[in-house]
Amino acid sequence: MSLTIRERSQKVAECIKTDAHHRIESIASAIGISKSSVHRHQQGIARRNQYAESELWETTSGSSWLKRLVLGVLYHFGIKHGIGAESLSEFFKSVHLATHVGSSASALRDLKHRLEAVIVSYEAAQSKQCQPLNKPGICLGGDETFFGLPILVLVELASGFIFTEVECENRQYETWRHQLEQWWHASAWDCHFMVSDGARALVKLAVSGLGTVSVADLFHGMRALARPIGSALGRQLAQIEKQLDTLQQQVNQATYEAKKQTLTSQLEMLAQQYQQLEQDQHTYRGALAEISLTVHPFTLDASQWQLFDALTTQLAAPLATLSKLAKLYGGDTAQTAVDTFQAQIPQLATGIHAWWQWVTQALASETQETDLQNWVLTALLPWVYWSQQTDKTRKPHLKARYQHAASEAYDRLMAHTMTLQLDDTQRQYWVHWCQWMCAKYQRTSSAVEGRNGYLSQRHHVNRGFSAQSLKVLTIIHNFDLKRSDGTTAAQRLFGHTFPDLFEWILSNINELPMPRRSSKAHLVNPLHAELFPA
């Protein structure tokens, strides 16, 4: 088996350590290469070993770790985080690796392209393991982001797995459908609903392309609802706060008592206005929070099923509050936003209806026992759902409400007779089933928005994407990025583990680029010149 240049150099270095006389002839005979090759390798070793730690990289274990270090830096910082080849080159030079690895910007770019090709081959190798089994259900979210040309993103919301992420000339339905055909019709996926911002192409994609229902995105809906009133309140608060500061300074500087009293009176009136604005802002935020707390499959107080009628009733109060505030802040624009959100309530309810239909169908396939089904639907599922919402939510006031709902649901669960009739194994099985099912309820496409935000940062850093680089980033997202539980998107969607992507890269890239000999390569360390005379 032929040896690489680096492996030959390692063997020469090992022989030098064992042969006290460093005879070229004996080393050449031991390795099986020519004497001139041994001499060149000796000179190369002398040039490389300029630092105290250099000998480590000449050993087999040191060379293996060196490859892991270089590929790790290039993968995690160069590819995943968009650090440029010039910066990475400076890093390798600063840690004394430039004498052992080709560290020029051009060499690192070439190595990066090799890494990208290996990553693409990884996805191809895993394709057989990325097939749905037993016609599993999914829920999708779609959106686009713009960097000259739009990038179309279609994500499985529960797992975060990206099905489509490609730069296209437009975002029309036909473009979306063409991307969909590449994986949808040849698979056995069963899409129960699709969440989007209501763009016509995406609605048509859900109904005509996927044959499912289109669900209004709560994230976009609340953002459009909040912006007019919130902006108007914020502007007025900032203006009055500035006027208060100015008046307070004038009061402090006033020398005449009459003028000081007049300014003080104006200051008090402005303070009352400011206090009223703060109260209205508090009411505004409370109404938005109430909407967020309401759009769930269960009622927050009793954990009852919440379908269209109940949802409409629960949303009436906060929307009425926002409508009153719209008359004071935002005017017609704010009122239009309230009316638009109210018109989206049926589409929000559609998502809840679709999920409940999914739950009942999946539960019927698991068990035909009526008592067990009722226990899961009315006792176990609400507790698991509110517990998951508590863990997911970061805002303290929402977390407290969800935690209270989970506590009450737990009390009802423990009071149910079926809870104690089941053994631990059965209870644990149904808890896992409910966790899987509750994760499938998705009311926003925030996963897509988060991906678009990441792409925006990368686009800014790299000044654009190539088709290859975008594909590589998609593969990394699906098979390498992990949540706090240690699972990747592919693992969550397909239900089994996949080979570690970085270890795959290490096993498929055998040789690092060697450093090029500069015009000053003959100027070696004097000590090395004595040990290895030309």
Instruction: State the pairing for strand pair 149-156/161-167.
Output: antiparallel
Higher pLDDT, 303 or 497: 497
Residue 10 is which amino acid? Answer: Q
Higher pLDDT, 4 or 416: 416
Residue 262 in this model has a pLDDT that exceeds 70: yes
Give the residue from 375, 406, 415 showing the smallest Cα distance to 388.
Answer: 406
Binning pLDDT at 50, 70 and 90, where does residue 529 land? very low
Give the residue from 353, 422, 419, 408 showing the smallest Cα distance to 380.
Answer: 419
Mean of the pLDDT values across residues 63-77? Answer: 92
> Which of 151-155, 175-179, 252-256, 381-385 has the lowest average pLDDT?
252-256
Q: What is the DSSP string of 184-225?
A: STTS--EEEEEEE---HHHHHIIIIIS-SEEEE-HHHHHHHH
**Residue 478 to residue 161: CA distance in whole angstroms:** 5
Q: What's 376's DSSP letter?
A: I
- Residue 135's pLDDT is 66
Residue 155 in this model has a pLDDT that exceeds 80: yes
- Residue 46's pLDDT is 64
Residue 522 in this model has a pLDDT that exceeds 50: no
Kindly report the backbone phi and psi dihedral angles of residue 116, in degrees, each rounded to the nearest multiple of 5, phi listed first.
Answer: -60, -40
**Residue 240 to residue 280: CA distance in whole angstroms:** 14
Binning pLDDT at 50, 70 and 90, where does residue 463 land? low
Residue 525 in this model has a pLDDT that exceeds 60: no
Binning pLDDT at 50, 70 and 90, where does residue 259 land? confident
- Asked whether 150 and 522 are in contact (CB, 8 A), the reply is no
Binning pLDDT at 50, 70 and 90, where does residue 534 land? very low
- Residue 532's pLDDT is 40
Model confidence over 218-246: pLDDT tens digits? 999 999 999 999 999 999 999 999 998 88
Mean of the pLDDT values across residues 413-422? Answer: 93
**Residue 157 to residue 171: CA distance in whole angstroms:** 20
Higher pLDDT, 519 or 464: 464
> Which of 93-97, 487-491, 502-506 has the lowest average pLDDT?
93-97
C-alpha 113: how far from chain center: 24
> Which of 39-43, 93-97, 336-340, 454-458 has the lowest average pLDDT?
39-43
Tell me the H-state helices in 295-375. Answer: 308-328, 331-343, 345-366, 370-375
431: exposed, middle or buried (Cβ count in 10 Å: 0-12, 13-18, 19+):
middle
Q: What is the DSSP string of 87-113?
A: HHHHHHHHTT-TTTS--SHHHHHHHHH
> Which of 129-138, 262-271, 334-343 has the lowest average pLDDT?
129-138
Give the residue from 300, 407, 358 showing the smallest Cα distance to 158.
Answer: 358
Pair of tokens at residue 4? 């690489």
- Residue 530's pLDDT is 41
Model confidence over 356-399: pLDDT tens digits? 999 999 999 999 999 999 999 999 999 999 999 999 998 898 99
Residue 17 in this model has a pLDDT that exceeds 60: no
Q: How far is CA 32 from CA 12, 35, 43, 53, in A?
A: 11, 9, 18, 28
- Residue 511's pLDDT is 85
Share of the chain above pLDDT 90, in %: 57
Residue 104 in this model has a pLDDT that exceeds 60: yes
